[in-house]
Structure 1
């Protein structure tokens, strides 16, 4: 299953690339019989160096000193509230949970509703959040103990081999079972005024 990214994230501030490029991250893994969940959180803060109202381009400096230019779309509310020295914080969260459905029986499916979005109130600093959840149910077509892989068939007929490192989990999976995968992701962006950021130090 291809990893689905939030296209709508660019609507908020266009700084998702900052989170991927540099920032503090934490990853947690939780396991139970027939279930695995992986959760990750990445946070990055950057300082506004320049704002070009004509082109809506903002130049940001990361904590490591590197700078990046971000094009802010018209959909982003309160662009005129951005000031040099403001601190932009982006927090990206994602999680993938896999659940084994013994015996299967249901139809393979995919549920990918439109992302939910919240924007800052008019007159406030730019910011907001966007989130999305995708659920896929796939059929177990084969189990390969030697290679520690399981072949899954999705709702569109495509197949993919998934590595299962845990021997106990692998032994519990049989042909005819189903696997439900739930992928969630969220991006939250906030802007702190330069004056408030200075007092917080």
Structure 2
């Protein structure tokens, strides 16, 4: 279910908008967040998705300092520095609407026997063409692997050990039967974050 929350520039600072300073009376721009989880009954693993959206209007621009201020519908304001990588800053105008969407996806699954080990990270960034309104698309994926070192059928938990030797006890869904065969199996955790920003003229 969607709900509203304050996120201090999360959606924008993940882009090419750099550091920011907000008015003392505000926590940040208002964002709408929705979450969802998908899984198969009785099958280990799940997909959890969280989407955050913010929409705000440009109320002030300082071209010399390369800063601009956004205001959302609730009157929250935030001022941002446009870092050098932010293309087309001169095309940003007062009254433009900035829309940002961030999606986080976490996939957890048992690795199938013989499946390739692909721990690591990958990402991409694309910006608006020269002369257009500022905008961008960015995505990043990180994959890590852990090994099931212990299971507790009483507490219905599993102990995972990561490559660096750290261990974490995690709760297992009630519909999952904790089988001895799961011991020493690999668990893949894949996290993907994607950001899309568009700027629209009034």
Aligned ranges 1:55-94 → 2 under 5 Å: 55-94=65-104
Aligned to 1:68, the other structure's residue is in SS state strand
Relative to structure 1, the CA distance from residue 21 to residue 68 in structure 2 (aligned partners, 3 Å threshold; closer, same or farther) is closer
**TM-score w.r.t. structure 1 length?**
0.81
What is the Cα deviation at residue 28 of structure 1? 1.3
Any idea what SS the aligned residue of 2:175 has? helix
2:38 pairs with one of 24, 27, 30: 30
Runs of 4+ in structure 1 off by over 6 angstroms are 15-18, 104-109
TM-score between both structures, scaled by the size of structure 2: 0.80
Contact between 1:16 and 1:90, CA under 8 Å: does it hold in 2?
A: no
Does the CA-based 8 Å contact 1:127-1:190 persist in structure 2?
yes
Q: Deviations over 1:104-158 (max 9, x none)?
A: 6789762112x20000000000011110011111101111233332211112222
| Cross-structure match for 1:183 | 191
Distance 1:15 1:188 in 2: 18
Q: Structure 1 CA distance, aligned partners of 2:136 and 2:90?
A: 16
Give the match for residue 137 of structure 2.
129
What secondary structure does 2:176 align onto? helix
1:112 pairs with 2:121 = yes
Greater shift, 51-60 or 82-91, is seen at 51-60
Structure 1: gaps of 5 or more residues: 1-5, 195-201
Unaligned runs of 5+ in 2: 1-9, 23-27
Distance 1:21 1:37, change over 3 A: farther
Structure (1/2) with the larger helix percentage? 1
